[in-house]
Structure 1
Amino acid sequence: MQAAKVSDTPVEFVVEYLLKAKEIAENNANVPAELRDNLQKALDIACGLDGYLEQMSSQESEPLAELYRKSISHDWNKVHEDGKTLFRLPVTCITGQVEGQVLKMLVHMSKAKRVLEIGMFTGYGALSMAEALPENGQLIACELEPYLKDFAQPIFDKSPHGKKITVRTGPAMDTMKELAAMGEQFDMVFIDADKHNYINYYKFLLDHNLLRIDGVICVDNTLFKGRVYLKDSADDFGKALQDFNQFVTNDPRVEQVIIPLRDGLTIIRRVPYIPQLKSTVTYDEVFRGVQGKQVLDRLRLDGKVAYVTGAGQGIGRAFAHALGEAGAKVAIIDMDKGKAEIVAHELTLKGISSMAVSADISKPEDVQKMIDDIVSKWGTIHIACNNAGINKNSASEDTSLEEWDQTFNVNLRGTFMCCQAAGHVMLKQGYGKIINTASMASLIVPHPQKQLSYNTSKAGVVKLTQTLGTEWIDRGVRVNCISPGIVDTPLIHSESLEPLVQRWLSDIPAGRLAQVTDLQAAVVYLASDASDYMTGHNLVIEGGQSLW
């Protein structure tokens, strides 16, 4: 026989009381029909809420579903009677689908990499949050009951995300003290444990900097059956949570909101520090950030318009993704319109505004049309990433004028035309970042390959960058370049080039070729306001090859 439903949340109590009121009304002929009708409407709204939230929220993964089924079918009373748990654990403590999806969403929104959970119970919340963590993310769950660790672990092991979870058994405060002593910090902390200790957990988190600078604290059960705000409630847990809510409200270090989800979820964040009178704090841009932005926020490119030439593959594709991920709208420029459209579609799938443009940068009319198309669509250009280039190998005595001209027309003349065309837009608006792709070949003569025209053209790109960088900085335009080393591409692993690869590797202190992802942070830095004092610089990223 299934146990009768026991009300646990404010909405469930409202439903319970409305049902009783409806029964009374139906048994009393003197109750007006209008009152009975309004009671039914209120009941319909209250009864339908939880089910609709479950229906409209993303469905849980199979491991989560299995963990939920295992949790609700378990005989927790018998487990306690058998002495396997210290406390009698009520089935109402189990996190459900909607709460799990909310926690998962909060991890995504806060971009958390490390999460601390105080009070795990059967692990549904822990696994929900772990599913949102990056591959190298970590969740440490503090759980008093060793039995619950053994209960959850088999399901964790089935999930590809379970390896991110570490369960520490014993009193949560002891674990927190150990973590603080180790200098650990967390991006998100979820508290769902013994209610009387909520204030102690909260104070310890803030007083010992277990919470990162931009971290959030999520606290469950903060509406506790509605008893935190009922004046005549004498519930002990309700009083403890009422005290906790008031303590957080009075704490000037934070701001918070209670979300009326199930039994209440409070989300807390630390507010920026503002010094009081007679403070000894040096409240300058180092402390508060340039324009109030912390250093990572200064790398954001939100609202900026960028283009990348040669973006249909390789380095250019990686640059386009990086600029887009940092917040910019990105025009994908390539001679091959099909390749440009594929990369633009990739960005679109990630929620990045993009456009594909076909252009041969060795032709001045193509360069100008490229600029005009971007300005026509997005109104301006803030970031010009001139990356397109070609490389033709030949011994110097055999290098033809045709090869020389083709190489220079793209690598140097084309880069110049792009700089000049984009520069006209940027100089007019008094702001711009130009980033040219040079090469390690501008510093050394790579060997054993023979590439006179390429090496010389890339040296020219560096001098072009230096000259423009000095001419335009006082008008708001910074010009820099990136010199990659030898980049790992599918072509390099062909049978004919294998002997060269082995020679190159012997010349690279890092012991490997560059990946296109090794270059992405550099282009974002040079495109951002964080690099405003840098111009005419050649940023070399080659694993140390130019040092040998």
Structure 2
Amino acid sequence: MEQSKENQVYRMVVQLTRPKNILQLFNHCTDNVHALCDYLPDGGHILVCNPIDRHPPCEHSTPKLHTRTGRREDILKELSALGEQYDMVFIDATEENPINYYNLIMSGNMLRMNGVICLQNASTSGQEGIDDEMGFTSRKVTDVIKADARMQQVELAIDCGILVARRIPLSQITDRTKGVVEDGVFQGLKGHGILDRLQLDGKIAYVTGGGQGIGRAFAHALGEAGAKVAIIDLVLEKAEAVAHELYLKGINTVAMAADISQEKDVKRVVDEIVANWGRIDIACNNAGINMNSASEDTTLEEWDKTFNVNLRGLFMCCQAAGRVMLSQGYGKIINTASMASLIVPHPQKQLAYNTTKAGVVKLTQTLGTEWIDRGVRVNCISPGIVDTPLIHSDALKPLVTSWLADIPAGRLAQVTDLQAAVVYLASEASDYMTGHNLVIDGGQSLW
């Protein structure tokens, strides 16, 4: 069945705003309600409020679709008393009491900040086809929303007039409430709220070891936050595979092959990123190896190879990217250390790895203090034991039970557990943090 224009608009608005919870106060067609459910994240839902004299809009419920029947004003009062909030609300301007619906929603703080109200049958410029009584009701509620300084609106004069209104922070309203302290907490730092300060729009990032595991997760997180991301890996095919994933998500990316234990390779990729994108704002030095051998059996070759990648190579990346950032006067360096920098994980034997990761922390602390006064912050992340394909190998699989007994969280880390940390450290929200070792290990290093 061909979609109506208004249903096409609603689906597009939902896709653009990505709401989690939707409140619907008019009768949407069954197909469109189910379609909107498809765009909601896990845990999201649509609550459809039906008058007593009307049947629910769908015969088959889904986990994301809930219905309540009764007087809509009564339902709204109950939801307000429960403290319910919604990211999107649908109202019909020609139904009975739409102004009451709107006032109850706003006075009950039921519309989240930056939440959206879609007013169907709104009185928009050039709209025709609504009779006098319905037109009067439509004009009244439309005018109320347009006059509300808390709302930013745009009208769509299609067959069924639609007004899309977004709730804006009070700090953006010229006529502010008397007595409010207008500081950075209320207005946002330099006018930017906390979620805006976590955005990386326009930033240039690279991730070493970005072709798999933690590096892949970091690359996706930085890209989703708005950065352009260079994926650097020893194996070009792995870097290209991750770059293709980012491309499919609309993220500007490039794949590069490099052995970070080689100074010429480090210099080459840093120079290429600057040549292509003009700068480097975020250096995510994640590449590392672990050869797992007992101390008495560790050869100098194993020792040197581990140090050449985990510490010497990381230093060369910090230095090369740091020189670019110091000339810019701003930059974020994020190194991947390990819980092994704090404790000796057991029962595996990994002397060289543990030593290098302790070195990463001290290197991070030293650079962090040397460079912060010139605008460059250097921090590191210490993951616990991460559930990667390597963990399920014949050599390591028998150790999982022992590891789980040492982790208060009762599970291994997932790479997704680390993503928010790298975005925070890459963003301006962490500008006062430097030389810090951010441990994410489910509490294992506390025992």
What's the TM-score, normalizing by structure 2?
A: 0.95
Residue 207 of structure 1, aligned match among 107, 112, 116: 107
Residue 110 of structure 1, aligned match among 9, 12, 17: 17
Letter in 2 for 1:153: E
User: What is the match of residue 133 of structure 1?
Assistant: 40
Residue 95 of structure 2, aligned match among 186, 192, 195: 195
Q: SS of the counterpart of 1:462? A: helix
Cα deviations across residues 279-337 of structure 1 (Å, max 9, x unaligned)? 10001110111121111111100000000000010000000000000000000000101
Percent of matched pairs sharing the same residue: 61
Letter in 1 for 2:84: E
**Pairing 1:342-357 to 2, within 5 Å after superposition:** 342-357=241-256
CA distance in 2, matches of 1:514, 1:463: 24
| Structure of larger gyration radius | 1
**Pairing 1:366-377 to 2, within 5 Å after superposition:** 366-377=265-276
Residue 58 of structure 2, aligned match among 149, 152, 174: 152
Residue 363 of structure 2, aligned match among 464, 472, 475: 464
Q: SS of the counterpart of 2:287? A: coil
Greater relative CO, 1 or 2 (CA 8 Å, sep 6+): 2
User: What is the match of residue 23 of structure 1?
Assistant: none
CA distance in 1, matches of 2:155, 2:284: 45
Kindly indicate whether the alpha-carbon contact (under 8 Å) linking 2:49 and 2:75 is maintained by their aligned counterparts in 1: yes
Letter in 2 for 1:297: D
Aligned length: 445
CA distance in 1, matches of 2:70, 2:177: 44
Summarize the Cα distance change of 1:183–1:277 in structure 2 as closer, same or farther, 3 Å threshold: closer
Summarize the Cα distance change of 1:227–1:355 in structure 2 as closer, same or farther, 3 Å threshold: closer
Q: Say whether residues 1:269 and 2:166 are aligned partners.
A: yes
Letter in 2 for 1:494: S
User: What is the match of residue 421 of structure 1?
Assistant: 320
CA distance in 2, matches of 1:121, 1:317: 41
User: What is the match of residue 63 of structure 2?
Assistant: 163
CA distance in 1, matches of 2:125, 2:304: 79
User: What is the match of residue 221 of structure 1?
Assistant: 121
User: What is the match of residue 384 of structure 1?
Assistant: 283
Summarize the Cα distance change of 1:186–1:357 in structure 2 as closer, same or farther, 3 Å threshold: same
User: What is the match of residue 183 of structure 1?
Assistant: 83
User: What is the match of residue 479 of structure 1?
Assistant: 378
Cα deviations across residues 13-67 of structure 1 (Å, max 9, x unaligned)? xxxxxxxxxxxxxxxxxxxxxxxxxxxxxxxxxxxxxxxxxxxxxxxxxxxx4xx
User: What is the match of residue 362 of structure 1?
Assistant: 261
CA distance in 1, matches of 2:81, 2:177: 32
Flag structure 2 segments of 5+ consecutive residues without an equivalent.
none
Summarize the Cα distance change of 1:349–1:278 in structure 2 as closer, same or farther, 3 Å threshold: closer
Q: SS of the counterpart of 1:195? A: coil
User: What is the match of residue 182 of structure 2?
Assistant: 283
The alpha-carbon deviation at position 270 of structure 1 amounts to 2.4
Q: SS of the counterpart of 2:327? A: helix
Farther off after superposition, 500-509 or 233-242:
233-242
Letter in 1 for 2:437: N
User: What is the match of residue 312 of structure 1?
Assistant: 211
CA distance in 2, matches of 1:320, 1:307: 8
Letter in 1 for 2:67: V
CA distance in 1, matches of 2:202, 2:236: 25
Q: SS of the counterpart of 1:152? A: coil
CA distance in 2, matches of 1:146, 1:389: 65
Q: SS of the counterpart of 2:68? A: strand
Residue 143 of structure 1, aligned match among 45, 50, 55: 50
Kindly indicate whether the alpha-carbon contact (under 8 Å) linking 1:122 and 1:148 is maintained by their aligned counterparts in 2: no
Kindly indicate whether the alpha-carbon contact (under 8 Å) linking 1:388 and 1:410 is maintained by their aligned counterparts in 2: yes
Kindly indicate whether the alpha-carbon contact (under 8 Å) linking 2:94 and 2:135 is maintained by their aligned counterparts in 1: no
CA distance in 2, matches of 1:279, 1:484: 47
CA distance in 2, matches of 1:148, 1:429: 63
The alpha-carbon deviation at position 256 of structure 1 amounts to 1.8
Cα deviations across residues 417-440 of structure 1 (Å, max 9, x unaligned)? 000000010000000000000000
Letter in 1 for 2:58: A
Considering only aligned residues, what root-mean-square deviation do their CA atoms show, in Å? 1.9
Cα deviations across residues 334-381 of structure 1 (Å, max 9, x unaligned)? 010111111111110110000011100000000000101111110110
Q: Say whether residues 1:99 and 2:99 are aligned partners.
A: no
Higher helix share: 1
Summarize the Cα distance change of 1:277–1:419 in structure 2 as closer, same or farther, 3 Å threshold: closer
CA distance in 1, matches of 2:93, 2:24: 9
User: What is the match of residue 501 of structure 1?
Assistant: 400
Summarize the Cα distance change of 1:236–1:334 in structure 2 as closer, same or farther, 3 Å threshold: same
Letter in 1 for 2:34: L
Q: SS of the counterpart of 1:243? A: helix
Letter in 2 for 1:321: H
CA distance in 2, matches of 1:251, 1:393: 64
Q: SS of the counterpart of 1:153? A: coil
Letter in 2 for 1:490: P
Cα deviations across residues 461-503 of structure 1 (Å, max 9, x unaligned)? 0000000000000000000000000110122113332221110
User: What is the match of residue 329 of structure 2?
Assistant: 430
CA distance in 1, matches of 2:91, 2:409: 44
User: What is the match of residue 35 of structure 1?
Assistant: none
The alpha-carbon deviation at position 202 of structure 1 amounts to 1.0
CA distance in 1, matches of 2:142, 2:186: 30
Kindly indicate whether the alpha-carbon contact (under 8 Å) linking 1:105 and 1:132 is maintained by their aligned counterparts in 2: no
Summarize the Cα distance change of 1:365–1:126 in structure 2 as closer, same or farther, 3 Å threshold: same
Summarize the Cα distance change of 1:146–1:332 in structure 2 as closer, same or farther, 3 Å threshold: farther
CA distance in 1, matches of 2:327, 2:241: 33
The alpha-carbon deviation at position 126 of structure 1 amounts to 2.4
The alpha-carbon deviation at position 240 of structure 1 amounts to 1.1
Kindly indicate whether the alpha-carbon contact (under 8 Å) linking 1:144 and 1:171 is maintained by their aligned counterparts in 2: yes
CA distance in 1, matches of 2:375, 2:78: 50
Kindly indicate whether the alpha-carbon contact (under 8 Å) linking 2:210 and 2:232 is maintained by their aligned counterparts in 1: yes
Cα deviations across residues 446-473 of structure 1 (Å, max 9, x unaligned)? 0001110000000000000000000000
Flag structure 1 segments of 5+ consecutive residues without an equivalent.
1-64, 69-95, 157-161
